[in-house]
Amino acid sequence: MIADRNVASSQFGPQVQVHQYEGTEGHRGHITRSEIGLMPAAALAKLHGARGEAPGEHEHYHGAKWSEFKGKIAQGIEHPVFVTVDWGEEPKMSEGSNRRDAAVELGRPYIPAEIRYFGHAERQGTVFERHLHDMEPGQ
């Protein structure tokens, strides 16, 4: 289990290990950056799924089943969510949208995440940088 507890609430930004790779700008087959660690929940809260899933909508969990799932997430997130970012596109939640939604509903400040950027999409802003930009007045 990735440690996602006891993160000081005064910490604001992501707590991730970053790996940079060479690659061609705009090439979807080239992984050019990865971030693994704890990402502020707010930076992931509004990401849509790779298959068009909207944040807060759950195909498989409703009512008591959703409450039970959230109870498990309250104990910790065993597997990080997985986000992909392609050149010229918005970041997408490729795996873990239910875990993310549960963590957000529970008020968790951080979510274990793995984020991969393709074709130097990080040059257009990391997930966290895009989140900060979206928070600016007038956005």
Per-residue HEC secondary structure of the chain comes to CCCCCCCCCCCCCCEEEEEECCCCCCCCCCEEEEEEEEEEHHHHCCCCECCCCCCCCCCCCCHHHHHHHHHHHHCCCCCCEEEEECCCCCCEEEECHHHHHHHHHCCCCEEEEEEEEECCHHHHCCHHHHHHHHHCCCC
Q: What is the pTM of this model?
A: 0.88
Domain of 85: which CATH number? 3.90.1530
How many structural domains are present in the chain? Answer: 1
Is 10 among the domain residues? no
Is 23 among the domain residues? yes
Q: Is the pLDDT at 30 greater than 90, yes or no? A: yes
Is 90 among the domain residues? yes
Q: Is the pLDDT at 71 greater than 80, yes or no? A: yes
Is 9 among the domain residues? no
Is 2 among the domain residues? no
Instruction: Give the confidence band of 47 by pLDDT, cuts at 50, 70, 90.
Output: very high
pLDDT tens readout for residues 78-115: 999 999 999 999 999 999 999 999 999 999 999 999 99
91 vs 59 pLDDT, higher one: 91
Is 4 among the domain residues? no
* Domain region containing 94: 15-135
